[in-house]
Amino acid sequence: MNRLEDITVDTDFLSIDTPPMHHPEATQQSSTRLHVREYSPINYNNRSEIRLLHILPAKTWDEEIRCCLKTVSLFDSTIYYEALSYTWQDLRGTIPISIDGMLHSVSLNLASFLRRRRVTLGVKKKPDTGEKKEADENAGWQQVKRKKMKIKTAVKASNSRLRPVEHKDPESESETVVIWIDALCINQTDDIEKAHQVRLMGDIYLNARKLWIWLGEEENNSNIAMNLVRQLGMPEYAADKVWTMSDDEILALDCLFQRRWWTRIWIVQELVNGGSVKPEGNVVVLCGWLSLPWSYIAVAAERLNVHNSELRQQLRHLQPIIELEDTRRNIYQTLFPLLVQHRGREASDPRDKVYGLMGLAVEGEELPGNVSNVSVDYRKSTVQLYADIALSLIHSSTGLELLKHCQGQPLDGLPSWAPGWPHASDYALLHSDEYKASGSHTSSVRHLREQSALDADGVLFDTILSVGELFPTGVSEPWQNSTYFMLNVSNCRKVFLDEYTGPDPYVIVGGRTRAFWQALTAGYVICTKEDCKDRGSRNIDSYLPRIPSHWKPRGPRKTGTDKTFSDSLAALWENGIYDLNASPFLLPSVVPDPFEHLRSKDDLGLGSYEDPKRPGLEKYALGRRLIVTQNGYMGLGPPETQRKDKIAVLFGSTVPFVLRERSESGNGFQIVGEAYVEGIMNGEVMEGIRGGEMRKRTFRIF
């Protein structure tokens, strides 16, 4: 047993000048015969048995990486081991290492970490500095060199919080590093063993004495970025640092936060369990030769996120970091909210979108969102796993709320009622606590296993007559999306209001114009600071952002609801849509950014885009389409919505759904996605059943 102490080094040594390490084995792998390594079997009856990797010492940096595997009991309190969280896939290739005397292929990314971790065992030679640098890296390294003295000074002043990893082990030069690494400690070719070990991963990371987060080699000025994170994350944080960052520094941060580690599904469990009960210094983020406690990363991301929106647009990858920290702090969650929050993360095996989170989910049948009858089984197909998860959730307290997450199904053979978790949502989901479309009715769902279908009771409300153009998924990136949004809104207003001649269900409930803006904002009232003093205010003029004064410097300020201005935008939509798509950067002279002022949280008292309780007007329209039904109802539908699709209210759901008939004969439906329909979001359809105007029916959903 060995126990490695915290890293302590002379902060005068920063290997900023050291070129990237070459990998001599990588050039030899084509001529090296890799032996097929046989793993000693795991005893499945012993539910706590795992393997640990022992990294053996070496005399030089380039010496072959040698390791051995030992089988132990996970709950043996006398065992000290660490755990690694890193990125598996490496397009640069693989190299062989020795495990128990047999050659085993590992990615260059993993090999880089193993060499660095081995340094603690007494390697006295620094990495080879004779490797010629690639041409496209020269500029980045020169920038690092220019920053060297500045970084050194800052590091000294921070009491070695940012520090290189290379040091001499204080205890011995011959001990091994004991660490758990999934790619090496699990037989990846044995699905039964994988399932057994994945079930233990929560405890494996929980019991590890230290968690290493390996982001990869130094590149794209990551040393500068790591130093910035240290400054932004330290307690004596200087608020003006954010405002004084150069473009190069911001770019370095963005490159660091774009690394693939942040996007992986497995890191959620690894970080949450690996960092939940450990002291701050025992969760270490390592990039190149520099390391930081995880807490500095989390605090820096939060501080960057609350600053001006222009900076947030440049740092586009803060949200995954904030979500990670949110999950780490809120560890008592069932599987369903975890799936929803992290559905956009990547996994080489789509089944791991579920299995990678099961080790985090708390158990208990009485808990909402719990899945009690699904276990890790790599013999099960992805489609079958997703269907089983969906059925378990539908028959739990989650009920038909699950169907809100069924959108743009990416998997062949997956029923439309089962969410395809590999893809993030293209639009913000409607908040269930704001609506009650089915009133007090409870769900009535039956599963037809042989047909992979569900029978659900509800009401067929209406048929979609007209569908607007798709709104962009954001108004900040790229910037021209805000112009596109405004043009689309104005065109929809012209088509759905000015040119509409069909039935009008809103004559006695505020008028069609008001209903249009309500539909656009999914029923939320957006108001100015003055308007918000009166909670009952329905000031339509505050629904769209005020037009910046530089649009009409000689005239009165107008709002986006001004009909004359709206008509001119609609004309631009009709006559200039080609220009918008082909030459969007020519448009600012005609239609400048209408959301320029909206990106400030305090401006006009409007809610921020990220705030679910006080959304900006565009939040629920983004990524959706405006729709009109045959009876004149207006609303928002998912991007796949088509004419002749149906609007249905299913019992037990808080929102309506867009359904599509499978054939002209009407033999069953498919879920297209959730919808907002102004005028039926508060149980009005259920009142229609009681009044005899509407009838209950059963929908067979495939």
The dihedral sign for the CA sequence 285, 289, 290, 293: positive
CB distance 457 to 697 below 8 Å: yes
Of 211-220, 256-265, 392-401, 570-579, give the lowest mean pLDDT range.
Answer: 570-579
- Give the pLDDT of residue 71: 96
- Residue 501 structure tokens: 């001649």
Is pLDDT at 20 greater than 90 in this prediction? no
Percentages (nearest 5) of helix, strand, coil residues in the chain: 35, 15, 50
* DSSP string for residues in 431-487: PGGG--TTTTPPP-EEEEGGGTEEEEEEEEEEEEEEEPPPPPS-SSSSTTHHHHHHH
- Give the pLDDT of residue 277: 65
Question: Which three-class secondary structure string do you get for 537-603?
Answer: CCCHHHCCCECCCCCCCCCCCCECCCHHHHHHHHHHHHHHHHHHHHCHHHHHHCCCCCCCCCCCCCH
Q: Which residue has better confidence, 205 or 134? A: 205
Secondary structure of residue 106 in the 3-state scheme: strand
**Any idea what the Cα angle at residue 413 is, between residues 661 and 89, rounded to 5°?**
135
Q: Which residue has better confidence, 463 or 589? A: 463
| pLDDT tens for each residue of 303-353 | 888 765 566 566 778 888 988 998 888 877 888 989 998 988 999 899 999
Helix (H) or strand (E) holding 530: helix 529-532
Question: 149 falls in which pLDDT band (50, 70, 90)?
Answer: very low
- Give the pLDDT of residue 619: 83
Of 160-174, 238-252, 375-389, give the lowest mean pLDDT range.
Answer: 160-174
The pLDDT of 650-670, averaged and rounded, is 88
For the ranges 66-75, 279-288, 543-552, the maximum mean pLDDT occurs at 66-75
Chain-centre distance of CA 358, in angstroms? 17
Q: How many residues does the chain have?
A: 702
Is pLDDT at 24 greater than 60 in this prediction? no
The pLDDT of 133-138, averaged and rounded, is 36
- Give the pLDDT of residue 313: 61
The dihedral sign for the CA sequence 542, 548, 552, 557: positive
Question: Considering only CA atoms, which of 75, 166, 176 is closest in space to residue 127?
Answer: 166
Question: Considering only CA atoms, which of 427, 433, 621 is closest in space to residue 521?
Answer: 621
Secondary structure of residue 73 in the 3-state scheme: strand
The pLDDT of 490-497, averaged and rounded, is 84
For the ranges 423-437, 550-564, 602-616, the maximum mean pLDDT occurs at 423-437
Is pLDDT at 571 greater than 80 in this prediction? no
Q: From the DSSP assignment, how many helices (H) and strands (E) are in the chain?
A: 19, 19
- Residue 643 structure tokens: 């004419």
Burial-class residue 277 by CB neighbours within 10 Å (0-12, 13-18, 19+): exposed
Question: 436 falls in which pLDDT band (50, 70, 90)?
Answer: very high
Of 4-8, 92-96, 472-476, give the lowest mean pLDDT range.
Answer: 4-8
> Percent of the chain scored above 70 by pLDDT?
68
Across the chain, mean pLDDT equals: 76
Burial-class residue 68 by CB neighbours within 10 Å (0-12, 13-18, 19+): middle
For the ranges 3-7, 368-372, 459-463, 525-529, the maximum mean pLDDT occurs at 459-463
Distances (CA, A) of 512 to 493, 499, 625: 10, 12, 18
Is pLDDT at 533 greater than 80 in this prediction? no
- Residue 557 structure tokens: 């300020």
d(CA 483, CA 573): 10
Q: Which residue has better confidence, 298 or 526? A: 298
Question: 234 falls in which pLDDT band (50, 70, 90)?
Answer: confident
CB distance 483 to 618 below 8 Å: no
* DSSP string for residues in 664-690: TT---EEEEEE-EETTSTTSHHHHHHH
Distances (CA, A) of 626 to 10, 19, 152, 217, 634: 62, 55, 56, 47, 7
Q: How many CA atoms lie within 13 A of 469 on its CB side?
A: 18
CA dihedral 646, 651, 654, 655 (to 10 degrees): 0
d(CA 405, CA 409): 10
Is pLDDT at 50 greater than 80 in this prediction? yes
- Give the pLDDT of residue 115: 95
Residue with structure tokens 């378990």? 392
Burial-class residue 442 by CB neighbours within 10 Å (0-12, 13-18, 19+): exposed
CB distance 94 to 30 below 8 Å: no
CB distance 640 to 634 below 8 Å: no
Of 320-329, 492-501, 522-531, give the lowest mean pLDDT range.
Answer: 522-531
Q: Which residue has better confidence, 100 or 432? A: 100
Residue with structure tokens 């060499």? 115
- Give the pLDDT of residue 551: 35
CB distance 49 to 71 below 8 Å: yes
User: Count of CB atoms within 10 A of residue 145's CB?
Assistant: 11
Question: Which three-class secondary structure string do you get for 140-206?
Answer: HHHHHHHHHHHHHHHHHHCCCCCEECCCCCCCCCCCCEEEECHHHHCCCCCHHHHHHHHHHHHHHHH
Question: 628 falls in which pLDDT band (50, 70, 90)?
Answer: very high
H-type alpha helices, 236-361: 247-257, 266-275, 294-305, 309-314, 319-329, 335-341, 352-358
For the ranges 287-291, 588-592, 596-600, 603-607, the maximum mean pLDDT occurs at 287-291
Alpha-carbon radius of gyration of the chain: 29
CB distance 197 to 39 below 8 Å: no
The pLDDT of 227-250, averaged and rounded, is 82
| pLDDT tens for each residue of 459-488 | 999 999 999 999 988 776 656 777 778 778
The pLDDT of 558-569, averaged and rounded, is 51
d(CA 256, CA 444): 49
The pLDDT of 265-273, averaged and rounded, is 93
Is pLDDT at 698 greater than 80 in this prediction? yes
Backbone angles phi and psi of 662, in degrees to 5: -75, -30
